[in-house]
Structure formats: C-alpha cells, structure tokens
Chains A and B, each alone.
Chain A
Amino acid sequence: MRYCRANRRQASNIRGPHSALTDFLASNNISAAQIRDDYGRRVAEVARQAAEEEEDADLDMEEPEYEPTPEPDSPEDKAKKRKRQQAIEKIKKSKEFARRKARRTGEPDDDDDALANEMMDENQRPTPGQLGNCEICGKRFTVTPYSKTGPSGGLLCAQCSKNHVGGDKKAAPKKRSSGIGRRQNQSNLLDGLTSQGTQSLLETCIKKVAENISDVEEFGDLPPPVMHRLSQILARRRAITSTTLDLFLRPQNKEINIYDCAKLDTDDYHKILATMPNLTRLNLRFVTPMKDRIFQYMMDRDMNIQDLHLDSPNLVTDEVWRQLFTRLGPRLRSLKLWNLDSAFDDETVEVLGKNCTQLQRLKLKHLNKIGDKALESISTMKTLQHLSLHVSQETTPELLLQIVTELGPNLRSLSLEEFYFADDSLLELIRDKCQHLKKLRLAINAEFTDKALANLFRGWSNPPLSFADFHRVRDVDMANPAGPPEPVGLASDGFVALMEHSGARIESLNVASCRHISYAAYEEAFGEHKRYPELKYLDISFNGMVDDYLAQCIFRCCPALTRLVVFGCFKIRDINIPRGVAVIGTVGAKLTIDGITQKELV
C-alpha cells in the first residue's frame, strides 16, 4: 500500500494549485476530476432518456387514437405517421430485427415492413405493472409478466388469459417423448416389475406415501413389513433425513432398517438408540458419520443388540470395535459389515472370534484391512451357520480349506467371492464336509475346473441347493477365447450336474459370464421334460450362445420364473415372454408378452 502511494506521488510531480480537500480525496484514491466527469455523463444521460421517452410517449398516444379509424388527411396525423415511420426505420436497423428476420427467412410471411410493424407493436405493449385494456373483454387490468397475448397480438386480462389457455390445451394435448417411456420401462424391469396389469394397491399406496413423505406427521399403526418397504422406497429416493427418520422411531419396536443414512448425522444415531431402547436389530447402511461415541453409548446402555448390520462405519476406531465385541459380543447373533477401509483389522477379527460365542451369521464384504490372520480367526468360530466373505486382500487358499474343514459340517450358507486362488481342493472339501448347505456362492474365480465342479454335484450328500451363484467362474485368456481343452470354470458338465443335483429346489441361479457352458448343455438342462418348479431368478448374462429357442425352453421349464437377466445375450432377438416374467438386458429385441407386442419395451 505504502509502496503504491509513493509511486503515485512520483508520477504526478507537476500540478496546479489545489485545495486541502482535493489532497485528502486524492490520498483516499478519489479524483475530483473523475467525479465531475461522472456527474456530467449522468446529466447528459438523463436528458437523452427524457427526449427518447417523449418520442415513445408520442407514439404510444398515437396508436389507440388513430389506428382504428385512420384519417390520413389531418396534418397532425401526418406528423405522427412520420414519427412512427422513423421509429420503424430505427427498428429495421436494430440487431434484434436482423435476428428475427434471419429466423423468419423461408416462411411465406417474409415482409420487412410487416415484421417491423409487429415489433413496433410489441414494444408499445404496456410493461408489467402498468395498466392496459384487455383485448377480448376490453376491461382495464394491471399487466403482469404472466399476461397472455391475445389472438391479434394484444394482452389479455387474467380471466380471459385462463379461458384462452384452456382452449389452447384442448387443441394440443401434451406429447410424451418415446424416450421417457422406454427409460421408465427399463427402470421398472430392473425393479422386477412386469409391465402387465396394475400394481397392488399396497404398493401403489406405499409409493404415494413416499412421494408425500414431507407431509406425513405420523405413520400410526403401520405393520412392520409395510414400514420396512417404506424405508426401502424412501432410501431409494434418498429421502431419509432427520425429520423423516422420526417417523420410523418407535420405542416399542425391536428393529430398525434404514438403507440410506447418508443424510443423517451423528446425533441422529444417538436419537435412534435413545428412543428405541428395546432394539435388538440395528440395520443401517451408508452410515458415514457413525462415530465411537455411538458405540460407547450402546455399551453404556448395555443394549441388547443381537443383529448388527452396518455399511461403511469408517469413523469407528479399532479400539472401540474391540471394546464392543468384548462387551456385547456374546449376545450377537448376526454381524454384517460392508465397506470398511480405515479400521477393522485382523486383530479386531481375532477379538470378534474370541468373544462372539453365539454368532450364527457373519458377513464381511469389502473389508480392506483383513487378511490371512482374520480367516484363521474365523475358522475358530464353531457356531457359525452362515458365512459370507469377500475380502480385498489376497489370501492363501489353505486358510479357506481350514475354514471349510472346521465349520463346514455346520454351515447352511457359504459365500466366497473373489478368492482367486481357491482351487479344486476346496471343492472336494466342500463335498466332504458340507451336508446342510442351502446357499452356495463361489464367484469370481479362474481355478476351479469343470470336472471338479461336476464332481462336487454328482452324488453329493447335501440336499438340493435353493441358491447357487457361480458368476464369473471361468477361464480368462484373451489369446484363447475358447478356453483350454480341459474346461476351466463352470462349463457344460458342471452346469448339467448342478441342475441335476439342485433342480428340484433351486430358486435363484446365477451363472453370469460362465461362457463355456455349451448350447448342448443348455438344451440338455432345459430339455422338454425338465422342470424347475421353484426357480424364480435366473441370470445367464454373457452366455452368448443363448438364443430365442433356448430362452423359450427356459420359460417352459421354469413356471415360477419372475426374472431372467440376459445382458450380453445378443442372440435373443424375438421372444414370447410369459406373464409375470421380467426379462432384463435385451438389446433391440422384439418382446411379445402374452400376445401383446411391446415395441416400446425394446
């Protein structure tokens, strides 16, 4: 600052006499000369505007008085006319005129004068706030920005505007672009809604309530399943906030399920725990601001939480996790955790394994910090009946063997995802040890051989599975797309064996990307006399050889089917879909549902 001022002084060394005020103003960066100039400019501006307005006013006066009954002979009128002519000339030179003219070329009404006249009339219309006469009823009214233009260019009063608009609407019904319908259809399909008939009244009402959630003060006596569904829909709409959360807080209820907590903060979790002291099941997803003190509170109140399902509580430290398991671990029945990267390490899993002596269900998905040691601890938890693991670190396959050896006889469901190095020995062990499995997921692996998979299912003493997921169990070699001669992954033989073993009970089957299952294997599995009475969900995405014929075979064999996922099955071109089945992922196919062709579904 000081530097600048010094500079300025140097630059203006020579000056005439000046007052103390000028000096002071100069020191504050205000120049007397500039003030004078500004003032002069303002005065000139006002004068010019006044002159213009006078001219405009003249033109305004002229139109209503003289246009309806032109009397060209009066000399006064000639003057007005000349003025109008001048104004029109001016308009013709304006940029706006050029722009409109450019837009108009090609239309029959390509007349400069008419256009200029029209613009002139537009300019002369009263601006919002002024009074004007309605073009239709002649009533005097205040012009607003919403006033409509009448049939011959004048403005209309509110009443006439309304009537006029009504006429317009009838003439041109609202057009929906075909794109919206298609998107909506695809979205419904992904939700598993088939396009036929109406939705249930319950579902319609739940949707309506979700739409108007901000007006709802209390839910009243809604039964828990309805509350659960509402919670799901609201979460999907991302409408769960502190205020909507209150609707779900019922002191007498024992469980709470909130699938999107992203808009809640730490105090809201406090509120949940404080208002629902009987809570046994706490199921919260996207719980980013969950902090240590919430867990501390849970421990201080000695809450009887039996089912703890949390997605991404990343601000909770390892120390507090361990405390939680030490204090409340013995009463936990199920623990499901997703997406943890900054805490929850091997040591915490060790504490978990030691203290959660009643745990029956354990699901750990996308946990970054756990590895071999955690698997070792898990293998000691003999009470587990349901185990689901998807860890991010690379682990040694021997530990999986250990887990299956130790826990296998007790397991009802086993889900192992992305264990790249698990191999055939694991399959053999599953065959030996597991006799009560209902759900088996061995996904994302390129080591299992088709032979070993077929061997697992042939003569396995385990009863039929109701849930099987082998997605992305296949050989990946860009140089050899057909795969090795001895098939790797779930291929033809394994698939047929799986369907033979579990066909009677299977409800959900995912063989996405198992691309070495042959056409013949599909034909065999979905042959004429095969029936899979309970199969509801089937995912055969990226099984490229499935064509229209096979799809029809699938429909024939699976009477209970509700969803068929066929992303990347480009040979499906034209199929007849039975009622109640949602086919997801077709591209450009012609779908006929129960005799109705659904072009817009495509």
Chain B
Amino acid sequence: MADSTQSEFVTLVSCDGFEFIIPRSAACISGTIRRMLDPASKFSESLSGRCVLENLSGVVLEKVCEYFMYNEKHKDQANVPDMEIPAELCLELLMAADYLDT
C-alpha cells in the first residue's frame, strides 16, 4: 500500500482497456488525476496507483498521455510550441481536457 503511493509510475486505463504507464509527476499535471492519486483522499486509485478513466477511449487517452509527457519535457523551457493535435480528435480531446482539469 505504502509502496504504491510512493511508486514513481502510475497506470492510466482507458474505457476500452488500454493501459498507459507514465511517471506520477507527469500524470499529476491533471487536477482530476492528482486528486484521485492524493494519498490523503484514500480513494482506491491512490492506494493502487491505477486510474480507470471510464469516459476516455484509448485513442484519446494516448493523446492525453502524450500531452502529459510533452508538458513534463518542456516545463522549464521558454516559448514552447503547442503540441500537434489531429483536427478530428480535438473536440473529444477538449472534453477530456475539461474532465481531467488540465
């Protein structure tokens, strides 16, 4: 239990079963995921380090994870260009971003 809260990586699961394992610090850019994983919350997610995001499809979650990593990579740089988003995905991703509070 204590291990999972301290583990460096967390698992994000999409509604169609795709799993993405990314660094905790990157995932916590999202307010929603941060609160899920907050040890003080005692949510099952915070204990297992595994977030099932029922309303995100694999395709969208993949892009979200890409953003998490992109953000992590560029957080100390100036004038970072916006991440490329395919036009057909942007409305879904917009909803996801709103849900995830990123």
Candidates A197, A204, A226, A593; contact of B83 at CB < 8 Å? A204
Closest to A596 in B: B78
Instruction: Flag whether A209 is at the interface (Cβ < 8 A).
Output: yes
Q: CA of A209 to CA of B82 in the docked complex: distance in angstroms? A: 13
The minimal Cβ–Cβ distance linking A565 to chain B, given in whole angstroms, is 20
Q: Pick from B13-21, B33-41, B44-52, B90-98 the stretch touching chain A.
A: B90-98
The minimal Cβ–Cβ distance linking B40 to chain A, given in whole angstroms, is 24
How many Cβ-Cβ contacts under 8 Å join chain A to chain B? Answer: 82
Please, how many residues of chain B have a CB less than 8 angstroms from a CB on the other chain?
25
Instruction: Flag whether A51 is at the interface (Cβ < 8 A).
Output: no
Closest to A217 in B: B91
6 A-B pairs with C-beta separation under 8 A: A196-B75, A204-B85, A209-B91, A221-B95, A222-B95, A594-B76
Q: CA of A284 to CA of B71 in the docked complex: distance in angstroms? A: 36
Instruction: Flag whether A206 is at the interface (Cβ < 8 A).
Output: yes
The minimal Cβ–Cβ distance linking A413 to chain B, given in whole angstroms, is 30
The minimal Cβ–Cβ distance linking A542 to chain B, given in whole angstroms, is 28
Closest to A598 in B: B78
Closest to B82 in A: A204
| CB neighbours of B43 from chain A (8 A) | none
Q: CA of A594 to CA of B78 in the docked complex: distance in angstroms? A: 10
A201 and B87 contact, CB distance less than 8 A: no
B97 and A205 contact, CB distance less than 8 A: yes
Q: Mark B63-101, 1 if CB is under 8 A from A, else 0.
A: 010010011001111111011010100110111111010
Instruction: Flag whether A185 is at the interface (Cβ < 8 A).
Output: yes
Candidates A197, A208, A223; contact of B85 at CB < 8 Å? A208
Instruction: Flag whether B102 is at the interface (Cβ < 8 A).
Output: yes
Interface of B is mostly: helix
Instruction: Flag whether A212 is at the interface (Cβ < 8 A).
Output: yes
Given contacts A195-B79, A199-B82, A226-B98, contact A205 B93 (CB under 8 A): yes
B94 and A206 contact, CB distance less than 8 A: yes
Please, how many residues of chain A have a CB less than 8 angstroms from a CB on the other chain?
32
Which residues 168-225 of A have a CB within 8 angstroms of B?
A: 181, 185, 195-202, 204-209, 211-212, 215-216, 219-223
The minimal Cβ–Cβ distance linking A374 to chain B, given in whole angstroms, is 43
Closest to A579 in B: B76
B80 and A198 contact, CB distance less than 8 A: yes
Q: CA of A593 to CA of B102 in the docked complex: distance in angstroms? A: 24
Q: Which residues on A are within 8 Å of B, measured CB to CB?
A: 181, 185, 195-202, 204-209, 211-212, 215-216, 219-223, 226, 593-594, 596, 598, 600-601
The minimal Cβ–Cβ distance linking A237 to chain B, given in whole angstroms, is 15
Q: Which residues on B are within 8 Å of A, measured CB to CB?
A: 64, 67, 70-71, 74-80, 82-83, 85, 87, 90-91, 93-98, 100, 102
Q: Which of A205, A212, A216 has the largest count of B CB atoms less than 10 A from its CB? A: A205
Closest to A205 in B: B94
| CB neighbours of A594 from chain B (8 A) | 76
Q: CA of A223 to CA of B96 in the docked complex: distance in angstroms? A: 11
Candidates B64, B82, B100; contact of A198 at CB < 8 Å? B82
Closest to A207 in B: B82
| CB neighbours of A598 from chain B (8 A) | 78
| CB neighbours of B102 from chain A (8 A) | 200-202
Given contacts A201-B67, A201-B102, A205-B90, contact A196 B95 (CB under 8 A): no
B76 and A196 contact, CB distance less than 8 A: yes
Q: CA of A36 to CA of B29 in the docked complex: distance in angstroms? A: 86
In the complex, given contacts A181-B79, A202-B97, A209-B91, what are 11 additional A-B residue pairs having Cβ atoms less than 8 angstroms apart? A196-B75, A196-B77, A197-B76, A198-B71, A200-B102, A204-B83, A205-B91, A208-B85, A209-B90, A220-B91, A222-B98
| CB neighbours of B64 from chain A (8 A) | 201
B90 and A212 contact, CB distance less than 8 A: yes
Closest to A597 in B: B78
Q: CA of A181 to CA of B70 in the docked complex: distance in angstroms? A: 21
B91 and A216 contact, CB distance less than 8 A: yes
Candidates B78, B85, B100; contact of A196 at CB < 8 Å? B78
Closest to B74 in A: A198
Q: CA of A601 to CA of B78 in the docked complex: distance in angstroms? A: 10
B95 and A197 contact, CB distance less than 8 A: no
A201 and B97 contact, CB distance less than 8 A: yes
Candidates A198, A202, A216, A596; contact of B98 at CB < 8 Å? A202
Closest to A184 in B: B79
Q: CA of A195 to CA of B76 in the docked complex: distance in angstroms? A: 10
| CB neighbours of A204 from chain B (8 A) | 67, 82-83, 85, 97
Closest to B93 in A: A205
| CB neighbours of B76 from chain A (8 A) | 196-197, 594, 596
| CB neighbours of A208 from chain B (8 A) | 82, 85, 87, 90
| CB neighbours of B80 from chain A (8 A) | 196-198
Q: CA of A199 to CA of B67 in the docked complex: distance in angstroms? A: 10
A198 and B87 contact, CB distance less than 8 A: no
Q: CA of A198 to CA of B78 in the docked complex: distance in angstroms? A: 9
| CB neighbours of A199 from chain B (8 A) | 82
| CB neighbours of B74 from chain A (8 A) | 197-198
Closest to B84 in A: A208
B82 and A215 contact, CB distance less than 8 A: no
Q: CA of A92 to CA of B55 in the docked complex: distance in angstroms? A: 75
Given contacts A209-B91, A222-B94, contact A198 B85 (CB under 8 A): no
The minimal Cβ–Cβ distance linking A239 to chain B, given in whole angstroms, is 15
| CB neighbours of B95 from chain A (8 A) | 220-222
The minimal Cβ–Cβ distance linking B65 to chain A, given in whole angstroms, is 11
| CB neighbours of A216 from chain B (8 A) | 91
B97 and A198 contact, CB distance less than 8 A: no
A195 and B78 contact, CB distance less than 8 A: yes
Q: CA of A216 to CA of B90 in the docked complex: distance in angstroms? A: 10
A198 and B91 contact, CB distance less than 8 A: no
